[in-house]
A = this chain, B = another copy of it.
Amino acid sequence: MNIGEIAKRAGVSRSTVSYALTGKRPVSVETKRRIQAVIDELGYRPNAAARALKEGRTRTIGLVIPPASQRLTDMQLTFVASVVDAAARADLDVLLSPSGGEHDRSFERIVTGRRVDGVILMEIRLEDERVARLRHSGLPFVGIGRTRRPEEMSWVDIDYETLIARCVHHLADLGHRHVALINRNAELVAVGYGPGHRAQSGFEHAVAERGLSGVQVCCGDDAQSGQACVEELLARHGELTAIATINEAAVAGMYRGLSRAGLAVPRDFSIVGVAARHWAENLHPPLTAADVPADEMGARAVELLIQRIADPPAPHRHHLAAPPISLRGSTGPARRGGPA
């Protein structure tokens, strides 16, 4: 059922139906009523492809996610959910594209086939060819995360550098002298994953500033890796009394590793991290952490993207989240080897 059919049954021309629907020109109430009656009866909706073709926009945004094979973390999932939600509120549809590895056909299809009006890019690296690709194509886009030259694009991001520094200061304030940073998985950090590098940098600076001794390790994004990682850390660095981490998926395993080693949290050992609130609260003991407002950020990213689509030459905008640390149950005064 197309617009011609509606027009015929309502006894008007196709253009009149179009104007009645879009309201871009006045149509008499009587005509409008007749058209609406036919539309309701037939359940007509304009064909999205035809409209996209003529209007030059698709009312769809692309969301580029890490390939599904590598499991999404809870935080990433929250980003996806909040982006989809915010887009739906703005009457935009969301086209999903796994990128990286073998799936780059999907990314290309979306970008050069003009399937979307704009793109939200997740899991951005310090040097990211997709950013170059998008900029070259002229398609509006917003990053969740930023590259090494952040002024060149619009983004929302978490200030891991500041947050991890805060974590270290928090631990130092509690008297801890030997602390470790547990990063995300080694491959990710190796290919230039921004949060990993920025967390390192924040950790190093804060450790130096407070005169602490610090170790850094990468750790797979799951509980088993977390456990193994902690066990190895304890074996190699017996003096450690605290961990700061951005690897939320591994925290449960870290708890397990500590408990196996006979260390109670927070009595004997402290952990502080960066994580989504509901995740931190669900752990046992609840994790003292900077609460990443992941759902807000997804919504904010959509908002930025809508603005960029509406006004491409406008200057880039950024949003760097640095939420305060919420004290929960996982940090306490240093005991083991600390100043007692």
Q: A49 touches which one: B52, B103, B224, B282 (CB < 8 A)? A: B52
Q: A224 touches which one: B67, B103, B223, B282 (CB < 8 A)? A: B282
| B113 and A88 contact, CB distance less than 8 A | no
CB-CB under 8 A for A110 and B93, given A53-B47, A53-B50, A282-B223: yes
Verify if A206 is at the interface (C-beta below 8 Å from B). no
Q: A115 touches which one: B48, B81, B109, B282 (CB < 8 A)? A: B48
Closest residue of chain B to A46 (Cβ to Cβ) is B113
Min C-beta distance of A78 to chain B, whole Å: 8
Min C-beta distance of A101 to chain B, whole Å: 10
| A72 and B81 contact, CB distance less than 8 A | yes
CB-CB under 8 A for A68 and B85, given A96-B94, A222-B282, A224-B282: yes
Which residues of A66-111 have CB atoms within 8 Å of chain B's CB atoms?
A: 67-69, 71-72, 77, 80-82, 84-85, 88, 91, 93-98, 103, 105-106, 108-110
User: How many A residues touch B, CB cutoff 8 Å?
Assistant: 53
CB-CB under 8 A for A47 and B96, given A85-B67, A88-B103, A284-B256: no
| A97 and B105 contact, CB distance less than 8 A | no
A49 / chain B contacts, CB cutoff of 8 Å: 49-50, 52-53, 58, 114-115
Instruction: Please state the number of chain copies in the assembly.
Output: 2
Verify if A15 is at the interface (C-beta below 8 Å from B). no
Verify if A60 is at the interface (C-beta below 8 Å from B). yes
Verify if A149 is at the interface (C-beta below 8 Å from B). no
A and B contact pairs by CB, cutoff 8 A, 27 listed: A43-B112, A45-B109, A47-B53, A48-B113, A49-B58, A49-B114, A50-B53, A60-B95, A63-B96, A65-B84, A68-B80, A68-B81, A68-B82, A68-B84, A69-B85, A71-B81, A84-B98, A85-B98, A88-B97, A91-B109, A93-B106, A95-B96, A96-B96, A222-B282, A224-B281, A252-B282, A256-B284
Extra contacts, 18 of them, besides A46-B113, A48-B109, A85-B103 (Cβ < 8 A), are A47-B113, A49-B58, A63-B96, A67-B85, A68-B81, A71-B81, A71-B278, A84-B96, A88-B105, A88-B106, A91-B106, A91-B109, A93-B96, A93-B115, A94-B96, A96-B96, A223-B284, A253-B282
